[in-house]
Structure 1
């Protein structure tokens, strides 16, 4: 297991480059929501659009809302990445969104079936790259502090009936069982509001605790890269 923490002037650019390189392999890439990833997606679509031809895209999590809802991670990715790629004449092979409008239980089961189908069986899928953010409470994906999703070791996707932060709508999330099948996980965090959760998760003396879900990544993923700006790294 290795954790590579990089403090950069523009972590969004580094993230865009890594995403584009992973997409170009034609292997499975997992995207996430949030303002920092939005910037990285826009950079990738504008600078390295051709790398995304034939890309195979998934989501780390999403809220149980329709695809046109402003709270939808899919909508953000569509606006910042998929639509610009389409305008540039680039066709991704697929982008499997989470069908949150079906409710958290059915949507999670459907998403897991898709992972099994594409991967060639239960637990068989591999991810070239998984991109994650970190919430103000240290959550990753939609696995919140102290919630049951943190203990799941068999299923790759589960429903989350109650989110730990606003907006308080049900969600669907990948689990640590799924993240353990990633060749590399990139954690992207920018801004002063991320300094505390980043320190709680990745400082040298930070304990691994379910009260800071991001701190548990190191128990499940072999290769972790943390991309930060100065503000997010201020308390490391």
Structure 2
């Protein structure tokens, strides 16, 4: 088991954002968390990456309990996040942003990093074209590609993708999901938070549905996509 979350509870002050949730991600999977705004999806991601403290429960990654491990130490273990809102360093160039993704790598001066950069450029040719351009001057779609590319430069065992399609045009959304599938096929395990449930379930091995901080349903991507209740609530009646 690559990631195992057990009985996780997270608060914002007195507000319970996540209540006793448990889920797993196995190596090689795409696992998606879907749910309405405020369901606790992003809080879950931030907790896995160490950005939110845990009130109760545990997070175990690759056999190691990381529940209270500082966030800056988690990339060293193999967890990397492309955050909601992209979080690009807007005053830095594309190349500088990508280089920031390597900061935790012990081999950051090696040929392996150059190979990973080439892989990122193959996945996102636009980034190679704009390598010397300031991130803040690029479109939303290009910044999303940059956020994902930067996360990949950490060479993660587990890639956390939080709302990668948010605010993008339909054609670009399809492209982003194609790239997510390709990243996974190349061997990277993906935990995905996504409001575009139709696309997410189509690409996922398994998925969990969150409502008001609790997991209310789980299953394979196909089973949930075919479920009439899920279709009505999240898929506009159809996939």
The normalised TM-score by structure 1 is 0.34
Which has more strand, going by share of residues? 2
